[in-house]
Amino acid sequence: MSSEIVKFEADDGQMVEFGEKEVRDLVCPEASPRDVSLFLAFCQAHKLDPIGAKDAYLVGFRDKKTGNFQASIITSYHVFNKIACSHDDYDGIESGIIVADSQGRVTEVPGAAFFPNLGQTLLGGWARVYSKKRSHPFVVRVSLADYTTGWGNWKSRPAMMIEKVAKCQGWRGMYPEEMRGMYGAEEMDQAAPQSYEPPAVESVETVRQAPAAETVQAPPAPPAPIDAYKLALIRARDERGVPVADAMAKVREIISKPPEAYDEADIAAAVTIVDGLGQPELEYEVVEEQLPLSEDDIPF
């Protein structure tokens, strides 16, 4: 077992300390020693607490052909915002979604509200990050088609998800040194596990012509389907308080095979089951209807 220990003082003054045992017990039991070592180094470098503050996650899948477990590091959305706000030059962010109306006109809308019933179609997200040291904001526009999985929050709240992708890319583009190798869960839903070096970059537009070309990391290749199940478990735990063990037990009641043996249909079913856990139960009003009586129906 690795002797590496992550230790640092959190923003609230509390000491954070954890090592390989805590990562295996509480974060990712199947991770290899190399994956755990990289995760520990990543958390130490960025002062991330994956246990208490849930700043980062180590998630992955088992390759059906090789049997190898491949893991990826996911950074929580709030970490991007916290790092940006820690800079004195940070001057805020504007963000929203890109929609097309029934006439095909494309508009950038602030926020994440769109109205399909009025003929609007969601196309993507955008963000503008401002710095007091720059004359131009850092601008990002991302396509919904590049990130949506059609499952979970991507199905129920696609506008919120794609706006988060744009904001994470905007913050990372403005402060690349501090956020190098950081990717949010929304970005990684469509990403295969990879090393933690930044992937290939794509150009982004700016509001006005900037002195130098700006770039932002492009999304990696599509993921293995099992990642959708992993992320559904994370959402259930963090958003609705459902323990991972309880959620997996519920899935096993219906799908009687281990996760590494799931095919795509099994994964889709598992995600649906987990996404339904912890949701508020619908309330129904029982109405007693008086049935009409007929002399033909009554023998006395």
Mean pLDDT (whole number) for 209-224: 44
Mean pLDDT (whole number) for 74-100: 94
pLDDT surpassing 80 at residue 2? no
CB atoms within 10 A of CB 154: 20
pLDDT surpassing 90 at residue 169? yes
Q: Work out the mean pLDDT of the chain and round it to a whole number.
A: 80
pLDDT surpassing 50 at residue 208? no
DSSP for 149-205, please give it. -SSHHHHH-HHHHHHHHHHHHHHHHHSTTTTTT--BHHHHTT-----SS---EEE--
- pLDDT (0 to 100) of residue 99: 95
- pLDDT (0 to 100) of residue 291: 52
More confident residue, 234 or 94: 94
Mean pLDDT (whole number) for 25-32: 88
- pLDDT (0 to 100) of residue 108: 95
More confident residue, 231 or 74: 74
- Considering the chain, what percentage of its residues have pLDDT values greater than 90? 42
